[in-house]
Amino acid sequence: MHVETNTTDQLLEEIADYVLNKEISSSEAYTTAHYVLKDSLGCGILALRYPECTKVLGPIVPGTTVPNGARVPGTTYVLDPVKAAFDIGTVIRWLDYNDTWLAAEWGHPSDNLGCILAIADYVSQQRLAQGKDPLTVHYVLEMMIKAHEIQGILALDNSFNRVGLDHVLLVKIASTAVATKMLGGGREEIINALSNAWIDNASLRTYRHAPNTGSRKSWAAGDATSRAVFFSLMAVKGEMGYPSALTAANWGFQDVLFNGKTVTLARPLDSYVMENVLFKVSYPAEFHAQTAAEAAIQLHPLVNGRLKEIDKIIISTHESAIRIIDKTGPLNNPADRDHCLQYITAIALMEGHIVAEHYEHEFAANPLIDELRSKMVVTENEQYTKDYLNPDKRSIANAVQVQFTDGTATEMIESEYPLGHRFRRDEAYPKINEKFTENVSVHYTVKQREKIEAAFADYDNLTSMNVNEFIDLFVQR
């Protein structure tokens, strides 16, 4: 017999205690966070080239001004922190080019920057107006490490996608925890805000899958991180929480939405996720396909003049890739195409590189793409699946082979760890810097870009910089 109690769910307490009390001592985590901040902002600036993205930005009511509000990098908007979080989170995620975390659940921990940067700028503006010191970029990095950790550790053993829920739920949870602390909330306020985030239902994954794949996947994280800011603002004003939001019989999250299973933390919260996070260095494409793209690009010189002679393309992959990006049939929009293993592999074989424009309708109209897709056979390599889940490896392996009509074939090209993996971090950092320069160059004058790059080049100076001064570097002139 189930006995109702008023005991607070242990998970809520553990997250609150971590956010409030854990001292992050890992220099590797802070160094990685520095690059995540740089890379994520670069992804957001690049997204401003796309009207489908910019149309959802700005105040809900045009012309609204917010005294001492939060700025949206790359724009002139000064918004309330809820809408600012939506806008920042949306631009960072729009092109599917920011960092990634893969486990039983997957996701993009830098999505939390929507909340973190909006709150940091808002709080700093408020403090300055009151004659107080603003927050520093070092504090932003600390909150990033903690948000990454909450989202990523919850993802290790809890597969929300298997019950049809979208991974942005974890963005909402992680952002809520750090936002409440940033707004001055204590343990009670963080727990109250977190409980509201858990009972806020969760987005269905249907907008990521046929027949409903659409652009919501590009603003879903912005929506989640903005909800987090809303709950945090409510909590610091004294709004109540719900102690057994997860575990209450019949009505709690676990019974209603998680098939009665317990939501668990696979390991103590520290800085593991930031240290192991995956950067998308080379290609704007769903991460499970990154190594397939690398393998296919290696094959490009061998097949480029023989694309019409291809009989079969073998893709050997891991189970998660098959479950979410193995697609046949029509692909209706860019959001559908950049989450298709076969489409990404076809572009890599054809072009020898991948850019965001390859997902747009004009390029996708090339009939050769679907011709190549029709010749692809996707199979699971069980060892790849095991290594994907192995915490000491966390590989994302794919292998590609092309067979020709004359009976000849290329070798099977295998790529186990993509360029952004922890095992290839030193190799990746120069490429991340190049990616950032390219991304900001499309938006800013040379003078403004050089100021931005100079700020990132000096780590000590950057981390001691006031947040309001940092965001001001990115404001559109």
DSSP string across 127-140: HHHTT-PPPBHHHH
**Cα torsion 333, 338, 340, 345: sign:** positive
Cβ neighbors of 60 (< 8 A, separation 6 or more) are 83
Three-state DSSP class for 106? strand
DSSP type of residue 358: G
Residue pair 107/171 in contact by the 8 Å Cβ criterion: yes
Q: What is the pTM of this model?
A: 0.88
Residue pair 168/46 in contact by the 8 Å Cβ criterion: no
The pLDDT tens digits for 178-207 are 999 999 999 999 999 999 999 998 899 999
Locate 224 and state its tokens.
């989640």
Element housing 189 (H / E): helix 187-198
Tens of each residue's pLDDT in the chain, 477 residues: 344 457 999 999 999 999 999 999 999 999 999 999 999 999 999 999 999 999 999 999 999 989 999 999 999 999 999 999 999 999 999 998 999 998 889 899 999 999 999 999 999 999 999 999 999 999 999 999 999 999 999 999 999 999 999 999 999 999 999 999 999 999 999 999 999 999 998 899 999 988 899 999 999 999 999 999 999 999 999 999 999 999 999 999 999 999 999 999 999 999 999 999 999 887 888 989 999 999 999 999 999 999 999 999 999 999 999 998 999 999 999 989 999 999 999 999 999 999 999 999 999 999 999 999 999 999 999 999 999 989 888 899 999 999 999 999 999 999 999 988 999 998 999 999 999 999 999 999 999 999 999 999 999 999 999 999 999 999 998
Cβ neighbors of 297 (< 8 A, separation 6 or more) are 348, 352, 353, 354
Cβ-in-10-Å burial (0-12, 13-18, 19+) of 365 comes to exposed
Cα separation, 350 vs 52, whole angstroms = 27
What are the CB-based long-range contacts (under 8 Å, 24+) for 97-100? Answer: 97/43, 97/46, 97/280, 97/284, 97/356, 98/39, 98/40, 98/43, 98/280, 99/36, 99/39, 99/40, 99/277, 99/278, 99/279, 99/280, 99/420, 100/277, 100/278, 100/279, 100/280, 100/287, 100/420
